[in-house]
Amino acid sequence: MQDELDRPRKSINVTPGGTTLIYCGVWGKETPAVDLQLEINRKEHRTDEYELDKLIVRRGQHFQILIELDRPYRPDSDSLEIYLMYGPKPRVSKGTLVKLCPNKSDINNSKYWAMKLDAGPEEGFLLVHVMPGVTSMVGEFKIAVDCFTGKQLTRFQVMDPVVVLFNAWCPEDQVYIKDEKEREEYVLNDIGRVYVGSITNVIGRPWIFGQFDDTMLLAALYLLESGDWLSDQNKGDVVEVTRAFTALVNSCDDDNGILCGNWSGDYSGGAPPTSWTGSVDVVETFWKNRPQQVKFGQCWVFSGVLTSLYRTLGIPARSVTNFCSGHDHDDSNTIDIHFDHLGNSLSDYDDSTWNFHVWVEAWFTRRDLRNAKYDGWQALDATPQEESSGRMQCGPAPLTAVKAGDTNTGYDVGFVFSEVNGDIVYWIVEEDGDMRIARVDTSGVGKLVATKAVGSSEMVDIKHLYKAEEGSANEREAVGAAACQGARGAYLEDYYKNNTLSEEMKFSVNIGEVKLGESVVIQLEAKNTSSEPKTVKVVMTCSSCTYMGRVLGELKRMQHTLFVPERDTSKCALYLSPEDYVCKMTPDGAVKVSVRAAVDGTNQIYTDSEQFDFKKPSIILTPSSKQVQKGHSIKLKIQVQNPLKVPLKNGRIRLEMARNLRPVNVNCGTVKPKHKMSATVTVQAKKVGERQFVATFNSNELMDIQGECTVNVFE
């Protein structure tokens, strides 16, 4: 069979309107013979928004081809067969060569590939219905047509392939999602939000996913074929495809991936991560320069691009943000912070807590785990953090397994668990190297898991999908089970059995308003539950850090001795003024507050670490009109307020509009202290519908100021 397929064959040309023509001598004169019915098929398969002018279909749903003959079809002597070929070396034994014979299988059974012949709209036409099997590989299939009349065979190859996607509308597909509004949101919606900031300053960042852009589909198909990441047989398995893409979106592992991560604060040689407003610009930059990586990305950019590629392939996906996100380096399933016996930090041994971390959830069944309880939302992450199976990849981790603390369930459930529900354990390392638990913060991570609501721009907290109610018996049971299965289980087993530590002093840290350009008050409250007065030696430090918690430099330190009467409360505070932090932090940085309180005459040492970023002003985008006719121009006024007493140098604005506008860059020069910068941009409306403008402002001193507005484009 393969030898026959390798024989020379006549080509089929494709007309600009999407009609494919073969010149078929079987029935006599050469006439236009095959029409791929692009408009009808794409509309029925909900792929009509894709810019790439190809036959794009979803598996498990039939499409039709119209064949024109120069005489009526004679079933007793004529025959027609179709071959679909996947990859460079199609084989029947590998499922990459599919032979379709007319009316030999049920066209309505989505389980298998099938073909049915019907009479066309008039004499001399054949209507061919083709069902792509619901377990079919996704990607490009070449098409060949065999025409038989008597003993004569003529074979033709269609020049344009058919692109097969996953199908969230087909109940038999792994990615089927029942609710139509959720399908529209998680597969078809090409704009959305990613959430950044901190637990005290949640920012909904507009993001253009752009999954219908022509380059997005080309890049997704390219990644499917990249290297040895996926065998052809695995390209129909959403578990394998989604996991591979978490590795291919980052540029680690020598896999010619898309994005290079950078958390240094120095973005010379590339674009700051905060400048990206959507996935299309990132992927187009990669496509033009492939296999060169795009510089630079951080977690929300990795998440946005991965979400876009999943939606491009038909996989329901959403970007989610975990605020106060743990990062477990040693597979303990806890977030571990260390001090020596004198109370000095041993930060080289520490895990970390990020202000926020953004990853992706995709919806599909887990047939590989053979248990329906693991079906549904799966956590996946393209941000390079820790290796999984020797590569920078993460997931898919079933959220139900994360919630239950089933850390032995693949893939990477333990790592995701520690991000959202791992206890923060403060350890004292003794002189002999042994360790004891000084304090356990049971609610320090996973304080909010945010995603965009279905059908609106509102934020919803989906923390309940990752863990039971904080402090409940179910939540404590899951945490204990995960911790005791981790690398430090021998140390933690006794604590989780008793679930308590003896502490006569109770402490809490409160951070006041964190508005950029103003002072911040960080307060420590100490409560004495004993019948004796206590003296507490307090050290509070504010440091410049990345949003991941990596300390860059100290901003201010305070030492204080606090006297707390019996059964009473005392407070002390550190005041951080603008002079303490302005121009002493990276433009996209945050502040880390570290507290150490040692109770005299006891072994109790309280340690805590909190992070915050400053609330920044928004870009004000004002369109000249809320409505504009397609093809006409509209003016956008852009205003940015400098909240600082220092000038903002090298100001840059980036403006983008979903499915309408390639990014526009505006150089603003220097924005004077406490002044407002204004600029006007004229753009042409190219696509009908409600269109969202998204803008970002970055400078040497201040980054990541956001703004958005909506304009209705009509015919």
Residue 170 designated active-site: no
Residue 24 designated active-site: no
Q: Hey, what amino acid is at 502?
A: S
Give, in degrees to the nearest 5, the angle at Cα 419 between 344 and 478.
Answer: 105
Active-site hit among 24, 170, 299, 484: 299
Q: How far apart are CA 101 and CA 110, in angstroms?
A: 16
Active-site hit among 357, 394, 542, 588: 357
Q: Cα dihedral angle (385, 388, 392, 398), rounded to 10 degrees? A: -80
Three-state SS at 271 = coil
Question: Measuring CA to CA, which residue among 202, 185, 143, 179 is closest to residue 20?
Answer: 143
Q: What is the phi-psi region of residue 322: left when phi exceeds 0, alpha when psi lies from -120 to 50, beta otherwise?
A: beta
Read off φ and ψ for residue 563, nearest 5 degrees: -100, 125
Burial of 129 (0-12, 13-18, 19+ CB in 10 A): middle
Active-site hit among 35, 328, 336, 381: 381
Q: How far apart are CA 253 and CA 249, in angstroms?
A: 11
**8 Å CB contact between 110 and 131:** yes
Residue 357 designated active-site: yes
Question: Measuring CA to CA, which residue among 271, 261, 258 is closest to residue 312?
Answer: 258
Burial of 211 (0-12, 13-18, 19+ CB in 10 A): buried
**8 Å CB contact between 236 and 137:** yes
DSSP string, 568-584: -EEEEEEEE-HHHHTTS
Question: Measuring CA to CA, which residue among 459, 576, 461, 465 is closest to residue 516?
Answer: 576
Measured CA distances, 572 to 125, 559, 566 (Å): 87, 10, 17
Burial of 697 (0-12, 13-18, 19+ CB in 10 A): buried
Give, in degrees to the nearest 5, the angle at Cα 111 between 106 and 114.
Answer: 40
**8 Å CB contact between 296 and 273:** yes
DSSP string, 357-425: EEEEEEEE--GGGT-GGG-EEEEE--S--S-BTTBS----EEHHHHHHT-TTSTTTHHHHHHHHH--EE
Measured CA distances, 6 to 88, 151, 161 (Å): 11, 20, 17
Burial of 268 (0-12, 13-18, 19+ CB in 10 A): exposed
Q: Hey, what amino acid is at 352?
A: S
- Joined together, the tokens standing for residue 478 give 């899951």
- Residues listed for the chain: 715
Catalytic residues: 299, 357, 381
